Amino acid sequence: MTKENLFSKPALLFAAILFISFTACSSNNQNNNQNNDDDSTLVIPVEAGSVLRGDISAYYSNTATLEAEQEAMVVSKVRGIVKEIMVEEGDRVKAGQIIAKIEDDQYRIEAERAKSTMDRLYNDFQRNEELFEKNLIAAETYENSRFEYEAQKSAYELAKLNQEYTSIRTPIGGIISERLVKKGNMIGIDQQTFKVTDFDPLQAILYVPEHEMAKIKKDQPAELTADARPGEVFKGRVERISPIVDPATGTFKVTVYIDQKENALRPGMFGRIKIVYDTRVNTKMIPKIAVITEDQKQTVFVVRDSLVYKKEIKTGYVNGSQIEVLDGLDDGEIVVTTGQGSLQDSTKVNVVRS
């Protein structure tokens, strides 16, 4: 066989096909290696927050129904027909203000009659006193005239007082919260006529577990939020603390006064009370959602040069969306707040919002 036969056209074609196949495989391997490199540098988007300084408080929280500190049921002191209604529900009144009137003709006449009798007996007493000083009458006659006059004087004062009672007055200032009578009603002695409520201050009665007793003190600040006033926070203070613990419930009574100058709250409203018993000033804080709790350990992911590192921390008070950091973080460090579930040490991240 000659050299020309060894390098015939079919042999050359086969060699060319092998070369092309080898080149294609090499190219595919290079592309696969490049894809693997891209996967190893995957960047995960996260949200983050910084370690900041601020004040944070510890508080005892509970719920209660608001009550009026001062509330009075106004009653009639005499019997009679209601002649006039002076106020309606929702009206503001002052202490001693007349809010209704009872027909007083009978009581006026009785007072006038008692006064006439008193005046006559007073004249008799004056005359007997002059005669007694001149020893013209017996001492017994003089004393009897004096007793009769004083007794009638008391009867007149009582009749006059009953006449005054026909004007029904409120004993306290506040708001007319309930009207229980109508014009023309016949009412008796001690019958309820109006309910008057003083809205300032309002109070919340809390029954606090006994293990919290050492924390709660008089005049501690308090905050209230009410479902009826969303987004508003009302200030208050601890007014009274019961010195005893109820053995049946293991709680003690705490009275909190709520300040409300604009009368935004009403008795009967449901509220959430926070009593602040300690405040730490200028302490380190981070968003609460940044903390991961596992096996009774608390950790966060710290962002450094676009990489994250897991760090164990020690926390303190929690207040709203913030949590105090006692140890493990420095001022200004950035911690991941959203996206922690996809992270490991040295994962590359892109902070999309902080």
Cα atoms in the Cβ-side hemisphere of radius 13 Å centred on 227: 8
Amino acid at 329: L
The full length of the chain comes to 354
How far apart CA 203 and CA 266 sit, in angstroms, is 10
Instruction: Report how far apart, in Å, the C-alpha atoms of 255 and of each of 16, 63, 173, 202 are.
Output: 98, 12, 22, 10
Chain CA centroid to CA 191, Å: 35
- Phi (first) and psi of residue 95, to 5 degrees: -60, 130
**Structural domains for the chain:** 45-56+281-353 (2.40.420.20), 60-68+197-279 (2.40.30.170), 104-164 (1.10.287.470)
DSSP one-letter code for 262: T
How far apart CA 334 and CA 351 sit, in angstroms, is 10
Q: What H or E segment, with its residue span, contains residue 192?
A: strand 192-209
Instruction: Report how far apart, in Å, the C-alpha atoms of 82 and of each of 67, 85, 125, 188 are.
Output: 31, 8, 40, 10
pLDDT at residue 317 in the model: 92
Helix, strand, coil % in the chain, rounded to nearest 5: 30, 45, 30
How far apart CA 346 and CA 20 sit, in angstroms, is 42
All residues at 6 or more sequence positions from 87 whose CB lies less than 8 Å from its CB, including other chains? 93, 97, 99, 100, 176, 179, 194
DSSP one-letter code for 349: E
Query: In 3D, which of 273, 274, 303 has the Cα closest to residue 286?
Result: 303
How far apart CA 195 and CA 75 sit, in angstroms, is 9
pLDDT at residue 17 in the model: 45
How far apart CA 106 and CA 80 sit, in angstroms, is 9
Please identify every stretch of the chain with a pLDDT value under 70, giving residue numbers as ranges. Answer: 1-41, 261-262, 354
pLDDT at residue 6 in the model: 41
Q: How many other CB atoms sit within 10 Å of the CB of residue 291?
A: 18
pLDDT at residue 3 in the model: 41
pLDDT at residue 201 in the model: 84
Query: In 3D, which of 167, 191, 158, 184 has the Cα closest to residue 104?
Result: 167
How far apart CA 3 and CA 152 sit, in angstroms, is 163
pLDDT at residue 30 in the model: 46
How far apart CA 191 and CA 140 sit, in angstroms, is 45
pLDDT at residue 227 in the model: 87
Give strand pairing partners of 205.
255
DSSP one-letter code for 145: H
Query: In 3D, which of 230, 216, 223 has the Cα closest to residue 260?
Result: 223
SS (H, E, C) 312-340: EEEEEEEECCEEEEEECCCCCCEEEEECH
pLDDT at residue 320 in the model: 79
All residues at 6 or more sequence positions from 106 whose CB lies less than 8 Å from its CB, including other chains? 80
